[in-house]
Structure 1
Amino acid sequence: MLDDTLKTQLKAYLERVTQPFEIKASLNEGSSASEMLGLLQDIASMSDKITLTTDGQDARKPSFSLQRSGNDMSLRFAAIPMGHEFTSLVLALLWVGGHPPKVEPEVIEQIKALDGDYRFEVYMSLSCHNCPDVVQALALMAVLNPRVQTVIIDGALYQDEVNAREIMAVPSVYLNGEVFGSGRMTVEEIVAKLDTGAAARDAAKLSAKPAFDVLIVGGGPAGAAAAVYAARKGIRTGVAAERFGGQVNDTLAIENYISVLETDGPKFAAALESHVKAYDVDIMNLQRAEALIPAAAPGELIEVKLANGGSLKSKTVILSTGARWRNVNVPGEVEYKNKGVAYCPHCDGPLFKGKRVAVIGGGNSGVEAAIDLAGIVAHVSLLEFGDALRADAVLVNKLKSLPNVSIHTSAQTTEFTGAEGKLNGLSYTDRISGAAHHIELEGVFVQIGLVPNTEWLKGVVELSKHGEIIVDAKGQTSLPGVFAAGDVTTVPFKQIVIAAGDGAKAALGAFDHLMRN
């Protein structure tokens, strides 16, 4: 099942197991069960502390549970966790085997203190780069708290369940049989939803912090670079981020960041956070800014109010809140979001295997999505508003060579249609002829660019007609002491390397401001 390289790596990891545990498999006669058994036999052969049995009677077959001796933990994989989930499997094996997790001690104590019975089911796909965070979070919670039960389910392996529950996006999490959430979630976010008093405690703690010299709002490439450059100046630096790494977390392949030949979004985001943590930076994750209060007079502090009721104060502020996927803004988009309307082809594509889908957007992202989906689904219809595709020629040529793709240019999407709570089609108008068309399909992937996260700044700092923060050559905004960097600004070409450079420039601009004032 595992190649020699993976076996060598896994064996080295399993040497860290200190407590014996059992893998109990529930199998049937299918090929997936044989594949799962091969994987489990490989694992069991690598450590004398791991025992494999095959007499499990769980209703989901094939599946396997991990059970530490003398412990009531309940953690099950209804999946063959390879691909993006192989790391999740390795971590689960280590945690069950007694190896301590790399999680803040207060989060661990918060998990252990959860009072209630929580039965989680998380549906994922092996190609989803957003799923591992959720899978690993819920696996850890099951290991640490016996009142938390977690089942990790591969939607492609259990297609009947996916169809019965009408799941069209992963990760999708159910708690005690009811929908709990979908999309990327960290363990801190999940625990915060369960621990209702956490927000108030967090707000009080944040409000009590002394003022920063530089406060960075946003933790993507621009925010991370700003934090490193500011901290290296020896000034008090803080980062308040809704999700460290920002939209980079949702990027699959990164091949154009100079000096890094190839990586993926989650790895790059983790590297950003690790680099920032190497300096004396106060990282405040899971914090959404709601208001910016300018300094009342020169030399006074700027205030950032947070969604949980807390507030932070600083001598200077760098805004690096980035951007998010742009919506089509037509009837049916909100209604059928995660019910056929999706934004991440790598995450949700496997759920549409053998079905008909559309991609809206003819830039690089849209054409790449259509190419990837064509290898999974029955047919892809690509719709581009302009009169020609805007993607790189090599991508366009590849797309046109695929037999199960149709391309519609000058196509204005007008409506997403559906029935019984699920998407069933898309309507568009030919902008040249004026003719109306309708395509019957099961999924639509929207890939039409970005919108800056600046709604909370309207009327406070000067914005462009597109909602971007207007900055000068040093990253200075219209407010003294307030700087901005990255995709949220008017700087052209929204690229990771450009955002990182902008973050460094804004930090140096903020430091210069502090020295002069």
Structure 2
Amino acid sequence: MLDANLKTQLQTYMERISRPFEVVASLDDGDKSRELLELLREIQSMSDKISLREDGTDARKPSFSLNPVGGDVSLTFAGIPMGHEFTSLVLALLQVGGHPPKASDEVIEQVKALEGDFQFETYFSLSCQNCPDVVQALNLMAVLNPNIKHVAIDGALFQAEVEERQVMSVPSVFLNGEPFGQGRMGIEEIVAKLDTGAATRDAEKMSEKEAFDVLVIGGGPAGAASAIYAARKGIRTGVAAERFGGQVLDTMAIENFISVKATEGPKLATALEEHVRDYDVDIMNLQRAEQLIPGENGALHEVKFASGASLKSKTLVLATGARWREVNVPGEQEYRGRGVAYCPHCDGPLFKGKRVAVIGGGNSGVEAAIDLAGIVEHVTLLEFDSQLRADQVLQKKLHSLSNVDVLVSAQTTEITGDGSRVNGLVYKDRNSGEEHRVELAGVFVQIGLVPNTDWLKGTVELSRFGEIVTDARGETSIPGIFAAGDVTTVPYKQIVIALGEGAKAALSAFDHLIRSSVDAAA
């Protein structure tokens, strides 16, 4: 089941287990049960602190639970956690086996203090890069608090459940049988939803902080680079981000990050955060900026957040990045997460054997269609323009696939559904003006990005596309406020460019601080 290299790595991790526990498998006569049993036997052979039972009675088969000897933990995997979830399996083995988690002491105590009965179920897909964060967070919570139970379920393996519960997007989390949340969530965000007073307490703490020399708004590549370069100057640096990692978290394959032949977005995002934490940087996560109040005549700049918190700083670096652009047609919002999706890698396996559409003929749209064609029954790709805009090598691959139809000069006008899920799409032929309907189960929107600048209107200068206008030094129309990354007018939205722009903005902010102090002294 595991290759030699993976076995060697896993063996090293298993040496960190300090307390005994048993793995209880619930199996049937199917091939997947045999695969799971082979994996569990290999794991059991790597540590004398792990025992394996094959007499589990869980209704979901194949599945297995991890139970500490003399402990009270309810943690179960329904399916075979390979792919992106293999890391979740390794962490679960270590944490149930007594290895200390990486979460902060504050979060750990918050989880332990939760009262009530919390039975979580998370539906994931093995190709979803967003799912491990949720699975790992809930697994850790189940290890820390006996009131919390968690089952991680491979949606592709338990299709009947997916259909019954109308799970159309992963990760999808249920709490005590009711929908709890969709999409990437870290442990802090989950705890905040359960501990309703946490957000208020955190906002009060944030508002009491002293003013920063440099405050970075955004935690993507540009924000991370800004924070590192500012902190290296020895000045008071803070980062407030809606989610650390930003759009990189939703990126699957990265093959143009110089010096790294290939990596994945979540891995890069984790490395960025770890690098920032190596410095004296105050990181404030899950903070969505809502209002900028520029300081006048050298006064402090202020940023207000959705949480109610407020922060002040001598200089700012705005690096709020971008988000998926929406089609803005009837049905898109109504069926978001119920057939309308934006991540083919995450949600593609849920549409196995079904008909889907991809809107967008650029690189991301064509890549999505190619990926989906290997999973679903049929893909219809719709492009508004008269021709595809993707690289020729991608177009050549796309046209070689027998289960893909390409429609150009096609304007999507509506996404339809039966009230609970998507059942079709309507488009207009821009040449003839005729409308056509396509019957399908899912729509993947891949039409680019839009900058996160709604909260800045009326303050810094924005382009007609909503991007922050910056000069060669990264400075905005307001002295002391800088910007970097995909949120700006800088061309070519690339990770490596965002990193450089973030570094430049921080250096410019530091230069501004020096010059301002000299002017003040004079």
TM-score interval for Structure 1 and Structure 2 normalised by the shorter chain = over 0.9
Q: How does 1:478-497 map to 2 (within 5 A)?
A: 478-497=477-496
C-alpha deviation, 1:228, in angstroms: 1.1
Q: How does 1:349-360 map to 2 (within 5 A)?
A: 349-360=348-359
C-alpha deviation, 1:494, in angstroms: 0.8
Query: Per-residue displacement from partner, 1:59-91 (whole Å, max 9, x unpaired)?
Result: 111111100011121111101000000000000
Number of residues of Structure 1 aligned to a counterpart in Structure 2: 516
C-alpha deviation, 1:12, in angstroms: 0.9
Residue in 2 aligned with 1:462?
Answer: 461
**Is residue 167 of structure 1 aligned with residue 167 of structure 2?**
yes
Partner SS for 1:486 = coil
Q: Aligned-residue CA RMSD in angstroms? A: 0.7
TM-score normalized by the length of structure 1: 0.99
Distance in 1, Cα, partners of 2:513 & 2:220: 24
Query: Per-residue displacement from partner, 1:156-193 (whole Å, max 9, x unpaired)?
Result: 11000000011110000000000000000000000010
Residue in 2 aligned with 1:344?
Answer: 343
C-alpha deviation, 1:260, in angstroms: 1.3
Distance in 2, Cα, partners of 1:223 & 1:360: 30
Query: Per-residue displacement from partner, 1:271-330 (whole Å, max 9, x unpaired)?
Result: 1111111111111111111111111x3221111111111111100001000000000000
Distance in 1, Cα, partners of 2:419 & 2:471: 51
The letter for the 1-side match of 2:192 is: A
Partner SS for 1:230 = helix
Partner SS for 2:493 = coil
The letter for the 1-side match of 2:473 is: K
Q: How does 1:119-268 map to 2 (within 5 A)?
A: 119-268=119-268
Distance in 2, Cα, partners of 1:43 & 1:476: 54
The letter for the 1-side match of 2:69 is: S
Distance in 2, Cα, partners of 1:283 & 1:199: 15
**Is residue 380 of structure 1 aligned with residue 379 of structure 2?**
yes
Distance in 2, Cα, partners of 1:79 & 1:293: 50
Residue in 2 aligned with 1:335?
Answer: 334
Distance in 2, Cα, partners of 1:280 & 1:58: 47
Distance in 2, Cα, partners of 1:497 & 1:424: 40
Distance in 2, Cα, partners of 1:379 & 1:289: 41
Is the CA contact 2:61–2:79 (under 8 Å) kept in the aligned structure 1? no
Distance in 1, Cα, partners of 2:140 & 2:443: 34
Distance in 1, Cα, partners of 2:94 & 2:329: 47
Q: How does 1:246-325 map to 2 (within 5 A)?
A: 246-295=246-295, 297-325=296-324
C-alpha deviation, 1:516, in angstroms: 1.1
**Is residue 433 of structure 1 aligned with residue 432 of structure 2?**
yes
Unaligned segments of structure 2, at least 5 residues:
517-522
Distance in 2, Cα, partners of 1:97 & 1:229: 39
Residue in 1 aligned with 2:519?
Answer: none
Unaligned segments of structure 1, at least 5 residues:
none
Distance in 2, Cα, partners of 1:214 & 1:421: 47
**Is residue 401 of structure 1 aligned with residue 387 of structure 2?**
no
Distance in 1, Cα, partners of 2:86 & 2:147: 25
Distance in 2, Cα, partners of 1:451 & 1:412: 19
Which segment is superposed worse, 506-515 or 114-123?
Answer: 506-515
Partner SS for 1:488 = coil
**Is residue 452 of structure 1 aligned with residue 461 of structure 2?**
no
Distance in 1, Cα, partners of 2:401 & 2:212: 55
Distance in 2, Cα, partners of 1:155 & 1:81: 11
**Is residue 107 of structure 1 aligned with residue 107 of structure 2?**
yes
The letter for the 2-side match of 1:499 is: A
Distance in 1, Cα, partners of 2:65 & 2:23: 6
The letter for the 2-side match of 1:220 is: G
The letter for the 2-side match of 1:67 is: N
Distance in 2, Cα, partners of 1:378 & 1:157: 17
Partner SS for 2:189 = helix
After superposing on structure 2, the runs of 4+ consecutive aligned residues of structure 1 that deviate more than 6 Å are: none
Distance in 2, Cα, partners of 1:463 & 1:7: 53
Distance in 2, Cα, partners of 1:147 & 1:440: 45
Partner SS for 1:272 = helix
Distance in 2, Cα, partners of 1:135 & 1:277: 23
Overall identity of the aligned pairs, in %: 72
Distance in 2, Cα, partners of 1:40 & 1:498: 44
The letter for the 2-side match of 1:452 is: P
